[in-house]
Amino acid sequence: MKLGIVFGGVSYEHEISIVSAIAMKDVINAEFVYIFLDQNRDFYHIPTQIIKSKLFSSGEYKKCEKVSLKKSGFYTQGGFLSKEKLLDMDLVLNIMHGADGEDGVIASLFEFNNISYIGPRREACSVSFNKFLTKGYASSIGVKTIDYKYFTKNDKIEIDEYPVIIKPVRLGSSIGVTIVNNTQELEYALDVAFEFDDAIIVEPFIKGIKEYNLAGCKIAGEFNFSIIEEPQKADFLDFDKKYLDFSRTSKALKADISEELQEEIKKNFKAIYNTLFDGAIIRCDFFVKDNEVYLNEINPVPGSMANYLFSNFDEIIKNLATSLPKTRKITINYEYVNKIQASKGK
């Protein structure tokens, strides 16, 4: 299988995407075609044999060949004596974290250009990229979430009871997230959050709450689950802890929980995934409080694709590649327009 890896993007999680993309070489047995999207939204073909993180931080990637996204794939630009050429790949894996990759931008481009890809579709991106919309989606399908308040930058923000956790609405990797214990800490936390976004959600911070992560996808209509992991953490997983996690290829340990709780977490995952996330491997992070399961967040493009949670990630990717949703073909025959013209005698 020739697998295109599309990564980078204009996002606060740009560097995390680079780390995740490089990690794929160790967990998928395939021929890779790396496509990097830089901060100017230019695409570059990065040869697999030279890819490393320093290539991007140094700007050396600009010596690589620029490519263009067009109908059916990525094309080299060609030159005075050569024509543009379609890069050979069977399908694409979207591994852009944050904006461009998880907000529906790249999904729209793939779908518009008839490119087969593994990743969340446009509607799934809309629901999962925005934490406020995620809460509404979960509520509509009967999945519980922790109570919250939503504020924009111009709102008067009042906190009834501390401690709380403040999160930018459209960011992952714990970027801009702060635990606030009193009024004195509030102003700084708001400054941090609004530096990254113009909207936030505020949730009660529940010390010691249990957290569990589950990844999965649907292949031929059947759910394929990872193990359920209980992440090791202090109060919460901050950016530094998560950043180190994004290059993970070693396997995680299965959480020591009851069969009943495992089934309850999986039931909630199934409700969230539904048909909305068909074609994607997602990771859902859950809280458990008083034996009740609550959705924390949906990761539509999880760090390192959550490969470390699967016993055979290579097999999952290859099976999912054969079970992607198909775009409904619409035939345009101008029947309605022709009837109008015929009725007018034209």
289 vs 287: CA distance, rounded Å: 6
Q: Which one-letter amino acid corresponds to residue 270? A: K
pLDDT at 60: 97
Confidence of residue 76 (pLDDT cuts 50, 70, 90): very high
Are 286 and 272 spatial neighbours (Cβ–Cβ below 8 Å)?
A: no
Q: What is the mean pLDDT of residues 190-207?
A: 93
Q: What is the 3-state secondary structure (H, E, C) of 252-273?
A: CCCCCCCHHHHHHHHHHHHHHH
Binned at pLDDT 50, 70 and 90, residue 234 comes out as low
pLDDT of residue 340: 85
Mean pLDDT, rounded, for 272-278: 98
Mean pLDDT of 7-27: 95
The pair of three-digit structure tokens given for residue 172, joined into one six-digit string: 């992952």
Model confidence at 161: pLDDT above 80: yes
Task: Look at residue 243 in the predicted model and tell me its pLDDT.
Answer: 47
Alpha carbon distance 75, 85 (integer Å):
5
For residue 102, is pLDDT > 90?
A: yes
H-run or E-run covering 67? strand 65-70
| Closest C-alpha among 195, 160, 190 to residue 178 | 190
pLDDT band at 17 (very low <50, low <70, confident <90, very high): very high
> Is 244's pLDDT higher than 60?
no
Q: How many CA atoms lie within 13 A of 232 on its CB side?
A: 5
Return the ∠ at Cα 33 (arms to 31 and 36), rounded to 5°.
150
- Is the pLDDT at 239 greater than 60? The verdict is no
Mean pLDDT (whole number) for 187-197: 92
- For each of the domains in the chain, give its residue range(s) and CATH number, in order of start: 2-118 (3.40.50.20), 149-204 (3.30.1490.20), 208-320 (3.30.470.20)
Q: Given the DSSP bridges, would you call strands 43-46 and 199-204 parallel, antiparallel or unpaired?
A: unpaired
Q: Give the position of tokens 């505020």.
A: 202
Assess whether pLDDT exceeds 50 at residue 112. Answer: yes
pLDDT the model gives residue 97 = 95
Average pLDDT over residues 53-64: 96
As a whole number, mean pLDDT of residues 310-314 equals: 96
Alpha-carbon span 345 to 275, nearest angstrom: 47
More confident residue, 235 or 343: 343
